[in-house]
Structure 1
């Protein structure tokens, strides 16, 4: 079983704002690390996810490796984004407990842990993933 090191997987907000250019892809699954801020619990990471796969997703989640300032893996996380209909953009926040943001060098999407379609076959979520970052923290495959 994978260790989960996230203090809270709550605080999900759905955004009606226009997506960033990196997320405005015609197809695929756009995942942007939009913001990182220190919070009372650790480092709060804000992601913008956009489903343009052509398929409604019941659930999508990723295993992410956190690299420290020395580029050493400090922990593995499971980031759960929940259900996301095709064409929908969602903003999700995760708190990384007891971790100041300045101690994070980069985040690596290691694997897709869940990708379930509402109906029919799910897309290859890793193959259609477009990762980007608006922060100083690196984020990608």
Structure 2
């Protein structure tokens, strides 16, 4: 009876690294991790971005559309995420003036405005882009 349990434990310990590798994003992953009201009266968005591509990205700028809580477009803006080393997470913050966080309902990543990824070209910033949120604000892309 101990042998089947031991066998299962060995199989799981060997397979675990393979499962972990499959969970690694294959492109860029952008998560709205927090949204906090700024003292200046605006909203500070904190994004966690991970470069799961096979290349270093020297600069990545995305066009974002911010919607109010009624679903209407509030503004278009650019989020400059800067340099994104391959395989390493980064946190970037952007303060949007004029509205409290609870007044925003959705962020749409509309497209790549600029991407400097050397020989890989700008398409690397858009290929495999995934977005998500840990806040009440919906994020789509």
TM over 0.5: yes
In the alignment, the residues of structure 2 paired with residue 26 and residue 94 of structure 1 have an alpha-carbon distance, to the nearest angstrom, of 23
* TM-score, L = length of structure 2: 0.79
Equivalent position of 2:132 in the other structure: 132
Equivalent position of 2:34 in the other structure: 35
* TM-score, L = length of structure 1: 0.79
Question: What are the residue-to-residue correspondences of 1:1-141 with 2, within 5 Å?
Answer: 25-41=24-40, 42-117=42-117, 119-122=118-121, 123-141=123-141
The number of aligned residues is 117
Higher relative contact order (CA 8 A, sep 6+): 1
Q: Which is richer in helix? A: 2
Q: Which is richer in strand? A: 1
Root-mean-square deviation (CA, aligned residues, Å) is 1.2
In the alignment, the residues of structure 1 paired with residue 24 and residue 133 of structure 2 have an alpha-carbon distance, to the nearest angstrom, of 15
Q: CA deviation at 1:69?
A: 1.4
Q: Structure 2: where are the runs of 5+ without partners?
A: 1-22
Q: Structure 1: where are the runs of 5+ without partners?
A: 1-23
